[in-house]
Amino acid sequence: MKIYILRHGETALNSKGVMQGWFDEPLNENGRNLAVLTGQALKGIKFDHCISSPLIRAMETAEIVLRESENTVEIKTDDRIREMNFGDMDGRSLSEMGEEGYKFYMDPFHFDGFPNGEKIQDVCNRTQSFLKELAAGDDGKTYLISTHGCAMRAMVSYLKEDPADFWGGRAPYNCSFTIIEAEGGKAHITDIDKVYYDSSLIVDHYKQ
């Protein structure tokens, strides 16, 4: 069983380096272009199933990647893989929170969470419930999972050698993949932050 976990393409808020959680915004032109290039590079891979976060940017990315890779599977949605709820900080810069905001990247498991939002452990609980359930099924199929940066890191953190190293030094790039293989209900990571487009197009909007 192979699971391609995809972070959505760029949005206008991504390009400004601000927080985008449950704020529902479509891809921008660059985001759509990255999704097209990614899908074209994936021609030859047959996806048997596709599951997406219900947020527009994840759905739109999945639609483009499937179309360009010549896959015609139905896109299903699961609320468990939507992005972290950033609460009052949605659409705002993390720097506005000062030292506490810095902790979100440097020590996320001891970060107290966003006002009226979620904590990292909340996101881990729901996204890992999704991945563990999927991997336990081990149907031998290939899945495309379209999600978000923090949700992606949370989903796979329990599979890392050091689960406390949540971010791995950065947020996932737009239209990058974490790839999982599962057999006998046991999952392991085979690739992290893999891009299928020219690496010169990578932009890290959230580097510290």
Catalytic (active-site) positions = 8, 83
Q: What share of residues in the chain are helix, strand, coil (percent, to 5)?
A: 40, 20, 40
Do 62 and 52 contact (CB within 8 A), yes or no?
yes
> Do 118 and 85 form a contact (C-beta atoms < 8 A)?
yes
Helix, strand or coil for residue 100? helix
Angle at 183 between CA 171 and CA 39, to 5 degrees: 45
Which residues have C-beta within 8 Å of that of residue 52, sequence separation ≥ 6?
58, 59, 61, 62, 75, 76, 77, 78, 81, 145, 146, 147
Report residue 6 CA to chain centroid gap.
5
Q: How far apart are CA 147 and CA 155, in angstroms?
A: 10
Strand order of the β-sheet with 75-77 is: 75-77, 49-52, 142-147, 2-7, 177-183, 186-194
List Cα–Cα distances, 89 to 126, 154, 177, in angstroms.
Answer: 21, 19, 26
For residue 24, give the amino acid letter: D
